[in-house]
Amino acid sequence: MRIFTYSPKNSFAKKTYIVEKKTESKTSVKAKSPFLGEWQFVIDLPLLDLTKKLEVYCEGKKSIQDVFSTLDPQTRDLFMADPGIYEKTTNYD
């Protein structure tokens, strides 16, 4: 298990990521945000590859689009917010 903290100037964007190996090619990610709460997802990246990318991203010098350029936008969004948040904010029933 590894823990990474992304602490930009905008405190609403602060995140903590806890990553654990799930299989040889998949990693479990638990994301925490003081503003958005907690969520989990599994990503198709080996633990070593993901930890290297998160180290760079959490330094705050590169955008998530640059660090995770090989991922599609929907997968990159998993690092930013709980995918369920969109359902919660657009469900007017």
pLDDT attached to residue 86: 63
- Report the alpha-carbon distance of residue 70 to residue 77 in Å, rounded: 13
Q: How many domains does the chain have?
A: 1
pLDDT attached to residue 87: 63
Percent of the chain surpassing pLDDT 90? 81
Q: For the chain, what is the mean pLDDT?
A: 91
- Report the alpha-carbon distance of residue 21 to residue 5 in Å, rounded: 18
The parent domain of residue 59 ranges over: 2-90
89 has pLDDT over 70? no
What is the per-residue pLDDT across 43-61, written as a single tens digit (0 to 9) for each? 999 999 999 999 999 999 9
Q: For the whole model, what pTM was predicted? A: 0.88
